[in-house]
Amino acid sequence: MSLNIRVIAPDGLIWDTTADEVVLPSLTGQLGVLTGHAPLITALEIGILRIKVDSSWTPIIVLGGFAVVKNDGIIVLISGVEEIKKKDYDQAKKILAEATKALDLAKTTKEKIEASQDIKIASSRLQAFQFLDS
């Protein structure tokens, strides 16, 4: 058996496939989903959604949202998405350094929140590279 997964962003359907396993970036940590998983609804954090098909993992950066798991199906509604490309690794490191500096320099609460969000996104980008095929 396999899981049916649909990832939907505000601008349309991002992913619609069957998978062997899915790992969601829930607010309480990584949440692995296999066939036969109990029904649930969970909020998603900024992080890496991983989809395993035929022993290969595909990482997708999600910018928060919700996931519903029911009857070997997963519907993921996300606020935004980023695709990871191997050639962007050095750029991702640079963006993380800039976001960290911005947090250090932040004075207002708004600036601190925005910088913290940027750090979460940049960190997720770097972590996602370990799941790309060589």
Residue pLDDT, tens place only, 77-98: 999 887 776 667 777 778 778 8
Give the start-to-end residue ranges of the domains of the chain. 3-82, 86-131
pLDDT of residue 113: 85
- Do the domains 3-82 and 86-131 sit in the same CATH topology, yes or no? no
- The three-class DSSP label of residue 10 is coil
pLDDT at 129 over 80: no
> Which CATH superfamily does the domain covering 3-82 fall into?
F0F1 ATP synthase delta/epsilon subunit, N-terminal (2.60.15.10)
Pairing of strands 40-53, 3-9: unpaired
85-110 in b/e form (b: 16+ CB < 10 A) is eeeeeeebeebbeebeebbeeeeeee
Q: Domain 86-131 is in which class?
A: mainly alpha
Report the distance separating Cα 134 and Cα 124, nearest Å. Answer: 18
Give the Å distances, CA to CA, from 80 to 10, 27, 113. 7, 16, 18
